[in-house]
Amino acid sequence: MSPRIRVAAYVIRYRSTPELLVFDHIGVPEAGTQVPAGGVQPDESLEEAVLREVAEETGLTDVSIVGPIAVDDRAHPDTGQPRQTTFFQLTVPADGEDAWHHHVHGDGADAGLLFACRFVPMPLVERLADAQDAWLSDIDRQTGRAESSS
């Protein structure tokens, strides 16, 4: 079975300390705190998909891609379905809202849900759902660039 191709977004803003964009599903606490992520549509590049997912799940459109951080091949934790997720680092201007609610749009399973979005200081105090925080340590918090693996 071919893996489902996905993207995930580490949207970071730089204030006195770097902050990561996360969200919670309103009314579904068992979903846990997450970063924007989802499937890549046919004929869509990974970069297009990560920008779309951020916009659909948080409403943010003034984001810039820094680059890919890692490719994760972990299966879905509930279904065991194979998947391949490319994690991207993105930046957003520092002067935006600290927290807001967003109704998810698009045609995915999350469409119509209400997400409570917010920026949290890094390093994170609590783990993210589905081990989405696994690659955060690969970001150099001072320069905002992915650390070289060499």
Provide the pLDDT confidence category of residue 1 given band limits of 50, 70 and 90: confident
Distance CA 114, CA 102 (A): 6
Residue 44 carries which side chain, given as an amino acid letter?
E
Q: Indicate if the pLDDT at residue 142 is higher than 60.
A: no
- Residue 47 is predicted with a pLDDT of 98
Domains and CATH numbers, the chain: 4-135 (3.90.79.10)
Residue 9's DSSP bridge partners are 88
Average pLDDT, the chain: 90
Quick: pLDDT tens for 51-62: 999 999 999 999
Quick: pLDDT tens for 14-51: 998 899 999 999 999 999 999 999 999 999 999 999 99
* 62: DSSP letter: -
Distance CA 135, CA 10 (A): 9
Q: Indicate if the pLDDT at residue 106 is higher than 50.
A: yes
Query: Of all residues in the chain, what percent carry a pLDDT higher than 90?
Result: 76
- The string of DSSP codes covering 58-124 is H-----EEEEEEEEE-PPPTTT---EEEEEEEEE--TTS-SEEEEE--SSSTTTT-EEEEEEEESS-
Q: Indicate if the pLDDT at residue 130 is higher than 70.
A: yes
Q: Tell which wins on pLDDT, 118 or 144.
A: 118
Distance CA 122, CA 107 (A): 31
CA distances from 145 to 62, 90, 127, 150 (A): 19, 10, 22, 14
